[in-house]
């Protein structure tokens, strides 16, 4: 019997299945320092314990995307080792801050399955939850991937396509306990723009760019214990190492500080597409579009729904061609909710 | 209205102006680990809590240059985003150790301004202070930069050129409270040379060299939240990414361990010039010259004034040509005070 | 007098000599985060405080090889600065876990010496011990290196060749106090295979590969304060920077998670050879062979003796040619004991 993990194939999934992912991980100040070295992360709430306390929190939580990548990374050996494509995200919510010293594990429930017409692969939907050492959920999201079949001749299972919300409705967003932006210090945060200054439809060019290096994306991807070989083995795939899509998400989110410095915390993930592959040598840029605005019950705290687009060139604001296909320079199209001072 | 930061131009500065820089930053053991991975940092006082306690401190402080880079990094969006050149440093003093868990912010006062004769740019002098969460100053220094004018036709402001000390006088150096080198362990520190073994005029070739990689200097520069695009975007500047001058300072300082292992703490910055640009692929070497010696009031603690020169080749000890210009292989000429056991 | 360290030459060693190495080092969560970014480290006992507590420990110790590299790194300036080759390891034992916040230093005793027949170099054997801030030994191992003579004409010392055990006998392995695998959670650990599932002679192909980058191996090597210039200076050696053998050890050990996820802790080092040099651009793979099995006194804890082979290609299971020489693609042949749930 082979002792290595061959990964799951399409036939290995069934709706209702629960997967408890290995390996739990204690994360803290070391992971934060690396995150801030790998990305131009500057959102004040995640940068300064003092700033976070002035906003009603006990200290600076770990960056929202550290939680996402850690929870996501654990699912890779069970969900995407034989994945042909990461197709989408939906219904993502950050449910509680992650503090330095917390230990996270991940659990996924298979909620949908549909064989492709070519008979060689299928789509699997999982709802993944990240759980801390107290048993509290810190994050949940749905993700669907295209997975290879082990045996193309195996019969197709009955299709179950989950009914997913097109976006998380604002009243379902969870505001971290105690968060209070009433005395928000805009000077220390880096920009004067408040919730009311952002208009639906407004586009923001984040201006800066970062040229990606092999060493950096591998450090980042390993940090989240994501071990998909296409990210590490130069010979695993035509065209060289494929950069983990989450590396592009974090690069774009942190580049968006320049124009969205006050979009402090991501609390909802409405959807997302990795439009084109990213490779070392690409220079990643980002632009955002304001999609929606909502009030929240927390003092001084508003929510903005934002489209975050990462590109490897091209003009800010341009996303798709006349046929509705992503332009070749678009890397990421992410739809999320962030908390912003009012 | 654009929401991104265009940076300040020469016209935006006036003597007497105070700039409170964003974003405060909590730094700790994670940042130290990265510093020790990015540079061959081995000075015992910053490497070992036990060694630091034996020298009268409560624990190992964060490396002197971590404090410098953190404070400096915050000033970049306000001071050097449109800078054409970083011209010099003066009157730098480390005022208190920075401990893991401290939160630093930066404030700059504009103390000088002078338009260049070409009418297209000018020089701005700022005195920057780093302040911890208790409101205590941990570092101060003067820096001057050449900044582009927004409008070459704008009238020249009256010139104010600050009167800066050619060097910090030894009696103005601040010795960390409790520091005591009476029982200094030379074997554990790595070298037997004490204060009295260094003669004014003596030159030390630090022998070792490090070939610089893009991934490393970008990790380092982001770690200090320094976001000047020339360091990250390969297309921003002819000749590729320009390496942050502070990366060269830290590389040279840590290479100088070999010969100056007992120059434990930097406490004064008398001056400095980034003589030539550094790029990935350069192999950085360093040599030092002893410029001065002074006693301090603290038990067993002497001070050495040192010139630290980083090069990308060439012979140790060679600095300028016959016309007084830096040789093309010289990257850095830094003049600082360090504390050394007597 | 030159102030830089020229390193020791063969003539500088004598049996019975004790070397107290500089510089003590406090290590913690920052170093762990870096280790987990540099390598695909996923062994649950080192990844999760919760998992470690469920196994009877107070928290997750620092990874076994962090202890090894830290202790080893300190010996480099005294033992291997003028070494021509790192010849072997023996009698290595991990004696106590290293916890975040511990401060390690290293002491070596010269236990053997033998001049080579060419008269230009000789072999030196040292027994190195790593010691924490409480004076407790955390690690010991014997290492032998070939060292250049300063003066080829110097007389040969009397040869002393230490009598080294071919392997650490299982009854001499130290099991960390409190370790208990009775309630081991195989699902969280990532694989179902227990001690009894591994047969002596069994070979395991760990499947995954990582293409090595210059930036990564330099970060790793500096992290352990290993300053041998061949690892950093691209011009120091024909063929470019030589990768620290320990980088290959850690890469292979962490790649071996896939098939040996439950080989949680390394507790013995029986031997090892760096068969061929490794350079950036090489894609490192690993395979293991089960050499022996032993029970231990601790509840649910067994020991496996494993051969870990790192390659830069070639077929798993192939090690030497017909003449008993390592195949050119073999990088490492390491023989160690690990603790595994029964």
- Residues B170-181 pLDDT 10s: 999 999 999 999
Helix (H) / strand (E) containing A303: strand A301-311
* C90 touches A at CB < 8 Å: no
The set of residues, in sequence order, having a beta carbon less than 8 Å from that of B178 and lying 6+ positions away, is B56, B57, B58
The set of residues, in sequence order, having a beta carbon less than 8 Å from that of A309 and lying 6+ positions away, is A252, A286, A287, A288, A289, A319, A330, A332, A333, A334
Contact check, Cβ <8 Å, C283/A101: no
Rounded distance between C-alpha atoms, residue A101 and residue A133, angstroms: 10
The set of residues, in sequence order, having a beta carbon less than 8 Å from that of C229 and lying 6+ positions away, is B207, B208, B209, C236
* A216 touches B at CB < 8 Å: yes
- Asked if residue A284 has pLDDT above 80, the reply is yes
Mutate to test the interface with C, among B27, B28, B36 (most CBs of C within 10 A): B36
Q: How far is B188 from chain C (nearest CA, A)?
A: 4
Nearest to C34 among A3, A30, A105 (CB): A30
Contact check, Cβ <8 Å, C49/A29: no
Mutate to test the interface with C, among A81, A212, A218 (most CBs of C within 10 A): A218
Which DSSP letter does residue A170 get?
A: G
- Asked if residue C227 has pLDDT above 90, the reply is no
Average pLDDT over residues B85-110: 97
Where is pLDDT greater, at A148 or A5? A148
Mutate to test the interface with A, among B26, B36, B105, B243 (most CBs of A within 10 A): B26
Instruction: Using an 8 Å CB-CB cutoff, list chain C residues near B208.
Output: 227, 229, 232-233
Which DSSP letter does residue B154 get?
A: S
Decide if the complex's ipTM is over 0.85. Answer: yes
* A99 touches C at CB < 8 Å: no
- pLDDT at position B8: 92
Average pLDDT over residues C203-230: 95
Q: Indicate the SS3 state at residue C180.
A: coil
- pLDDT at position B2: 82
Enumerate residues 118 to 157 of chain A having a beta carbon within 8 A of any beta carbon in chain C. 133
- pLDDT at position C1: 52
Average pLDDT over residues A11-15: 96
The set of residues, in sequence order, having a beta carbon less than 8 Å from that of A155 and lying 6+ positions away, is none
> Per-residue pLDDT tens for C172-197?
999 999 999 999 999 999 999 999 99
Looking at every residue in chain C, the average pLDDT score rounds to 96
For chain C, the straight-line distance linking the first and the last C-alpha, in angstroms and rounded, comes to 60
* B213 touches A at CB < 8 Å: yes
The set of residues, in sequence order, having a beta carbon less than 8 Å from that of A187 and lying 6+ positions away, is B20, B22
- Asked if residue A152 has pLDDT above 70, the reply is yes
Rounded distance between C-alpha atoms, residue C108 and residue C103, angstroms: 17
Rounded distance between C-alpha atoms, residue C158 and residue B144, angstroms: 64
For chain B, the straight-line distance linking the first and the last C-alpha, in angstroms and rounded, comes to 60
Average pLDDT over residues A31-60: 98
- pLDDT at position B243: 96
The set of residues, in sequence order, having a beta carbon less than 8 Å from that of C274 and lying 6+ positions away, is C86, C245, C248, C331, C332
> Per-residue pLDDT tens for B245-265?
999 999 999 999 999 999 999
> C-alpha A261: how far from its chain's center?
18
Structure tokens at B21: 């820089």
- pLDDT at position C74: 96
> Per-residue pLDDT tens for A196-227?
999 999 999 999 999 999 999 999 999 999 98
Structure tokens at B184: 């200094």
Burial B269-289 (b: 16+ CB within 10 A, else e): bbbbbbbbbbebebbbbbbbb
Q: How far is B195 from chain A (nearest CA, A)?
A: 36
> Per-residue pLDDT tens for B314-323?
899 999 999 9
pLDDT band at B145 (very low <50, low <70, confident <90, very high): very high
Are residues C286 and C255 in contact, defined by beta-carbon separation less than 8 angstroms?
A: yes
Rounded distance between C-alpha atoms, residue C8 and residue A259, angstroms: 57
Spell out the alpha helix ranges (H) of A229-338: 245-255, 257-260
Chains in touch with B (≥3 Cβ pairs < 8 A): A, C
Q: Tell me whether strands C301-311 and C330-341 are parallel, antiparallel or unpaired.
A: antiparallel
Average pLDDT over residues C256-278: 97
Instruction: Using an 8 Å CB-CB cutoff, list chain B residues near C20.
Output: 187-188
> Per-residue pLDDT tens for A60-90?
999 999 999 999 999 999 998 888 888 999 9
Are residues C16 and C160 in contact, defined by beta-carbon separation less than 8 angstroms?
A: no
Q: How far is CA A208 from CA A318, B31, B236, B238, B261, in A?
A: 17, 24, 10, 17, 40
Average pLDDT over residues A258-278: 97
* Helix, strand, coil percentages in chain C from 3-state DSSP, rounded to 5: 25, 30, 45
> Per-residue pLDDT tens for A94-137?
999 999 999 999 999 999 999 999 999 999 999 999 999 999 99
Q: How far is CA B185 from CA B45, B182, B193, C55, in A?
A: 11, 9, 11, 39
- pLDDT at position C286: 98
C239: phi then psi, degrees, rounded to nearest 5: 90, 0
* B338 touches C at CB < 8 Å: no
Rounded distance between C-alpha atoms, residue B330 and residue B214, angstroms: 20
Enumerate residues 276 to 305 of chain C having a beta carbon within 8 A of any beta carbon in chain A. 283
Average pLDDT over residues A26-33: 97
Nearest to C24 among B37, B41, B47 (CB): B47
Looking at every residue in chain B, the average pLDDT score rounds to 96
Rounded distance between C-alpha atoms, residue C14 and residue B28, angstroms: 43
* C211 touches B at CB < 8 Å: no
Looking at every residue in chain A, the average pLDDT score rounds to 96
Contact check, Cβ <8 Å, C34/A34: yes
Nearest to A23 among C42, C204, C283 (CB): C42
* C243 touches A at CB < 8 Å: no
- Asked if residue B1 has pLDDT above 60, the reply is no
> Per-residue pLDDT tens for C100-134?
999 999 999 999 999 999 999 999 999 999 999 99
Cα-trace Rg, chain B: 20
Instruction: Classify the C-alpha dihedral A27-A33-A34-A39 as positive or negative.
Output: positive
The set of residues, in sequence order, having a beta carbon less than 8 Å from that of B212 and lying 6+ positions away, is B243, B247, B251, B278, B279, B280, B281, B282, B283, B284
């Amino acid at each position: 019997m082979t002792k290595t993990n061959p990964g799951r194939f399409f036939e290995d999934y069934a709706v209702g299945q629960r997967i408890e992912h290995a390996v739990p991980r204690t994360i803290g100040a070391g992971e934060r320092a690396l995150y801030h070295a790998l990305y131009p992360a500057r959102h004040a709430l995640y940068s300064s314990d003092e700033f976070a306390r002035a906003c009603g929190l006990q200290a600076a939580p770990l960056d929202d995307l550290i939680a996402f990548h850690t929870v996501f990374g654990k699912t890779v050996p069970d969900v995407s080792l034989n994945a042909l494509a990461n197709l989408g995200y939906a219904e993502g919510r950050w449910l509680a801050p992650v503090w330095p010293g917390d230990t996270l594990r991940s659990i996924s429930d298979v909620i949908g399955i549909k064989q492709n017409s070519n008979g060689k692969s299928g789509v699997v939907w999982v709802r993944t939850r990240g759980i801390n050492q107290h048993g509290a959920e810190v994050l949940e999201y749905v993700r669907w991937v295209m997975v290879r079949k082990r045996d193309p001749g195996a019969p197709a299972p009955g299709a179950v396509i989950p009914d997913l919300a097109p976006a998380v409705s604002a009243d379902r967003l969870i505001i971290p306990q105690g968060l209070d932006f009433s005395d928000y210090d805009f000077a220390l945060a880096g920009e004067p723009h408040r919730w009311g200054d952002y208009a639906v439809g407004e586009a923001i060019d984040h201006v800066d760019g970062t040229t990606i290096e092999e060493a950096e994306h591998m450090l980042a991807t390993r940090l989240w214990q994501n071990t998909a070989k296409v990210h590490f083995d130069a010979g695993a795939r035509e065209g060289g190492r494929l950069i983990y899509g989450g590396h592009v998400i974090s690069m774009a989110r942190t580049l968006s500080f320049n124009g969205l410095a006050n979009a402090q915390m991501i609390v909802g993930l409405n959807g997302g597409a990795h439009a084109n592959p990213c490779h070392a040598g690409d220079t990643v840029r980002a632009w955002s579009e304001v999609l929606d605005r909502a009030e929240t019950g927390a003092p001084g705290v508003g929510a903005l729904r934002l489209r975050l687009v990462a590109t490897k060139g091209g003009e800010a604001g341009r996303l798709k061609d006349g046929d509705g296909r992503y332009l070749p320079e678009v890397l990421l199209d992410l739809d999320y909710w962030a908390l912003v001072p009012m």
